[in-house]
Amino acid sequence: MKLLIFGVLSLLTIKSVLSQTNEWLKLYTGNGVEFFYQKSECHDIQNGIHEEYYLIQIHNTSNNSLQLQWNYHLWNGENCINCKENLSDIKAFNAKILPGETIEGSCKNKTQNGLKIFSRFLNYKTANPVTHFTVENINVKFD
């Protein structure tokens, strides 16, 4: 019986490890840009901070420099967390991206506006974790 329980726990652990992939998933394509995302655990061991983020990667697929502006709708299950806010109240993000350039969020850089979306705390309960998000109001201006 102990062997069976150990086997089941081992399979669940392996499945959990394998499901945490670093694969970028496509979110949006259009107007010379592509948005990708991946869910990532970010750990600051020294300060005891353990969080989960959606990291964003944006490709400029055009042959021109571009100015990009966008924002997000954040969701907890079927409930949109920020959809009822006026468009002017939702934080807009901006980036200048050179031809063929890729920008992406990471756990290490805390100042990457729009390239990291907080999902939840890992070491204690988060009241309204972000379970998914949508990219909204994408505005591309070519230089």
Sequence ranges of the domains in the chain: 23-142
Instruction: Report how far Cα 82 is from the mean position of its chain's Cα atoms.
Output: 16
Locate tokens 């006026």: which residue?
86
Question: Which 8-state DSSP code applies to residue 59?
Answer: E
For the chain, percent of residues with pLDDT exceeding 70: 82
Instruction: Give the ranges where the chain is alpha helix by DSSP (H).
Output: 2-19
Helix or strand holding residue 49 (H, E): strand 49-60
2, 15, 17 from 9: Cα distances, Å: 11, 10, 12
Whether 33 contacts 95, CB under 8 Å: no
| Tens-place pLDDT, residues 84-126 | 866 666 789 999 999 999 999 999 987 778 999 999 999 999 9
pLDDT band (50, 70, 90) for residue 9: very low
Using the CB atoms, write b or e for 15-49: b if 16+ within 10 Å. eeeeeeeeebeebbeeebbbbbbbbbebeeeeeee
The CATH fold of domain 23-142: Immunoglobulin-like (2.60.40)
